[in-house]
Amino acid sequence: MSWTIAEVARMSGVTSRTLRHYDAIGLLPPAYVGRGGYRHYGEAELLRLQRILVLRELGMGLDAIAAVLAEGGDETAALRAHLAELTRERDRLARLVRTVERTIAEHTKEATMTRRDPEAWFDGFEPDRYEQEARERWGDEAVDESHRRVARLGDTEKRALQEQFEAVVTRMAALLDEGVPTDDPRTLDAVADHYRWLSAFWTPDADAYSGLGRLYVDDPRFQEVYDTTRPGLAAYLSDAMTTYAVTHLVD
């Protein structure tokens, strides 16, 4: 039993382009390639795709997912661990639903409460841990504009931006492996793609963009995002961003 790439795309909601990208990077090769170069997938490939999507839902990048899948081991135990993470997120969302329902009931006077409990209004929320820091660094307008841009994005646009980000990280990692200097035109061309990706959320000036690059190195949370893909990638990208800011963003 096998399914074409178009059928897998329809069943899973993953675009054919993304499936081809997963094949190109070795994350999800098809079971076989038929006449005309058409990819076909079997049950094993579909189950691997399911696990990839689960790990994506848990916030993992493609390189980290590849490392997890390469470890092998007890598949059932791994799925149980993924299930536990998803269950925690489901429970959080369930609390959030109840919080909003309580607030609606209060507004419509359907609830009889002897006193209001302000703490209950925030049950289930996980405030953006970076937002306050971003407001302090770049100001309220920059953060508010970013929220407005994100709110206008559809699911297809969000997936495309995620793929764009992963492509930039992969490209920068390859340049680092080659030993290409951070001021080389090829590196700056890759950084230009990073700047275009970032501009979907926020359009920084030269100082803000180079400052963001420094944050990639100074803050372990950001550094981990890049160095998980390739050790030293955060510093490499940071240096390249500073060069790009000076050479392309200064009036």
Query: Is the predicted pLDDT of residue 169 greater than 50, yes or no?
Result: yes
Residue, of 209 and 121, whose pLDDT is higher = 209
Looking at residue 114, its pLDDT comes to 39
DSSP state of 115: S
Are β-strands 32-33 and 3-4 bridged in parallel, bridged antiparallel, or unpaired?
unpaired
What residue ranges in the chain does DSSP mark as E strands? 3-4, 32-33, 39-41
Cα-Cα end-to-end distance for the chain: 60
Identify the CATH number of the domain defined by range 131-249.
Answer: 1.10.490.50
For residue 58, name the pLDDT band (cuts at 50, 70, 90). Answer: confident
Looking at residue 135, its pLDDT comes to 65
**Where are the chain's structural domains?**
3-59, 75-122, 131-249
Looking at residue 192, its pLDDT comes to 95
**In Å, how far are 55, 172, 220, 228 from 64, measured between CA atoms?**
9, 16, 17, 7
CATH 1.10.1660.10 given to domain 3-59: yes
- On average, the pLDDT of the chain sits at 81
Structure tokens at 135: 């407001």
pLDDT (tens digit per residue) in 96-144: 677 667 666 666 655 444 344 445 544 544 445 556 566 666 677 777 7
Judge whether 52 and 28 are in contact, CB under 8 Å. yes
Angle (CA) 80-83-89 rounded to 5° is: 150
